[in-house]
Amino acid sequence: MPIRRFMQLDVFAPAPGAGNPLAVMFDAGGLDEARMQAFAAWTNLSETIFFLPPTTAEADYRIRIFTPRMELPFAGHPSVGAAWAAVEAGLARPRAGRLVQECAAGLLPVRADQVDDRLQPSVRSPRAQERTLAAPDWLLEEHVFGARRGPLEPALWNNGPDWWLLELADAAAVRGLQPDLDAIASLPGKGKLAVFAAGDGGADLVVRGFAPGVGIPEDPATGSVNACIAAALHRAGRLPGRDGRYLASQGREIGRDARLQLEVDGEGEVWVGGPVHAVIRGTVDW
């Protein structure tokens, strides 16, 4: 089997160990979908990405994104990590501070910002849309899993993956939530639920993401769901922070401390980014 370059990154991490791990396989040409899926299942991380040659001159690089169970058209932390890895490995060079990622969701612009002399990518999410699917009765009750709901009605949103969004009354309700994972797994849209509320100091928004329907009880940091939340709050005229920018906190309840930078630009597009660290570098024989 060919020996391929490999990294394991920590994405949305102010320091190594605080964010969401991402497995990165370079030089993945020659691997079929079944072998990619098998490797993603073997790593058992929430997502694994595979670098492939772009199919269009407009793209700087191309990736495929896999969970342990399935391929995704888009996911936030793999996209942010991919941009960082592409530059670090010499696969791409920003032009006027920009990159273009090719993935199953299409061509996505990426900003290659420098923060404290480190590359900090931000990817423009595919435009999030609310899906016309009725929420189950238990999700519409005043209290869900013992926590009081916030003013935003629960709804299913999609920007590649589907996520049910549930606003809770305050950050303490989010931090202390004890969810019924079996109930979440039964939700239409592959069994995923994000809860959020205004921040409790140090961040503008507190978020937790549960995805038992795809084998992830709780995700440490989820770019796609944070982009959906930003779109929902922007539509409701309730975007936190200043000038369309805010900071989200996720993962503290499972021993992480991820920080996600969100921005809704003047055209209503949502950008999600954050710091990235390489924790493991080497090769894989696959």
The domains of the chain are located at 3-125+273-285, 129-268
Q: Are strands 205-211 and 245-250 parallel, antiparallel or unpaired?
A: parallel
The fourth-level CATH superfamily of domain 3-125+273-285 is Diaminopimelate Epimerase; Chain A, domain 1 (3.10.310.10)
Give the CATH number of domain 129-268; options: 3.40.50.2000, 3.10.310.10, 1.10.760.10, 1.10.510.10: 3.10.310.10
Give the chain's radius of gyration (CA, Å): 18
Q: What is the mean pLDDT of the chain?
A: 97
Instruction: Write a three-state SS string for 104-127.
Output: CCEEEEEEEEEECCEEEEEEECCC
pLDDT, tens digit (0-9, with 9 covering 90-100), for 134-191:
999 999 999 999 999 999 999 999 999 999 999 999 999 999 999 999 999 999 999 9
Longest CA–CA span in the chain (Å) reads: 56
Catalytic residue list contains 47: yes
129-268 shares the fold of 3-125+273-285: yes
- pTM for the whole structure: 0.96
Question: What confidence category does residue 69 fall into, taking pLDDT thresholds of 50, 70 and 90?
Answer: very high
pLDDT at 109 over 90: yes
Q: What is the dihedral of CA 212, 83, 235, 160, to 10 degrees?
A: -50
pLDDT, tens digit (0-9, with 9 covering 90-100), for 248-273:
999 999 999 999 999 999 999 999 99
Q: Which one of 33, 47, 153, 267 is the catalytic residue?
A: 47
Q: Is 98 left (phi over 0), alpha (psi -120 to 50) or beta?
A: beta
Residue type, 157: W
Task: Specify the pLDDT at position 124.
Answer: 98
Question: Per DSSP, which regions of the chain are E strands?
Answer: 3-11, 20-25, 48-52, 61-66, 71-72, 98-103, 106-115, 118-124, 129-131, 143-144, 147-148, 155-158, 162-167, 193-198, 205-211, 216-219, 245-250, 258-264, 270-273, 276-285
